[in-house]
Copies of this chain bind each other. A is one copy, B any other.
Amino acid sequence: MNIGDAAKATGISVKMLRYYEEIGLVRPANRTYSGYRVYGEKDIATLRFVGRARDLGFQVKQIAALLDLWRDQSRSSADVKSLALAHVADLEQRRRQLDEMIAAIGHLAHNCHGGDRPDCPILTTLGSESPAKVARMPKRARTGFAAVA
């Protein structure tokens, strides 16, 4: 299997397959004599694991930890669970931040009639007082969402 086929089989782009290898998340693929990467069943299974964890919003470092646990026959399920729960807590915190932002902006927009005239409480609020009681973000991940675009 060449890298393109592996990409199709795992839903991970060719670029990312090379990147995951480069940063050591997955073991370097075997190579043909001429340098092409060759993927076997095991590689594909690992990559699918990675892809699914990624889809669940795990960061690469967390995925690396999950992979270690996955391969470790003697792991305790408590280890896995705590990692998962920590991630859930993280996601939930982000969700709360989103909720606050949505509520604050929604409130402002609600009070804006939206007609042709210029008076709009969205801008005046942003320009003067606190725009709503949106808690100052904890330094980590301000709003986040590295718009991958």
Is A9 at the interface (CB under 8 A from chain B)? no
Q: How large is the interface on A (under 10, 10 to 19, 20 to 34, 35 or more residues)?
A: 35 or more
Number of copies of chain A assembled together = 2
CB distance from A24 to the nearest CB of B (A): 19
Question: Complex Cα distance A139/B149, Å?
Answer: 7
Q: How far does the alpha carbon of A74 sit from the alpha carbon of B120 in the complex, in Å?
A: 12
Please indicate the chain B residues that have their CB under 8 angstroms from the CB of A97 in the complex.
57
* Interface pairs A-B: 5 shortest CB-CB: A144-B145, A146-B146, A77-B120, A57-B143, A81-B114
Q: Can you list 14 pairs linking A and B with CB atoms under 8 Å apart? A: A52-B126, A54-B142, A56-B101, A56-B105, A57-B105, A69-B123, A72-B118, A76-B117, A78-B114, A78-B115, A88-B106, A92-B102, A140-B147, A141-B146
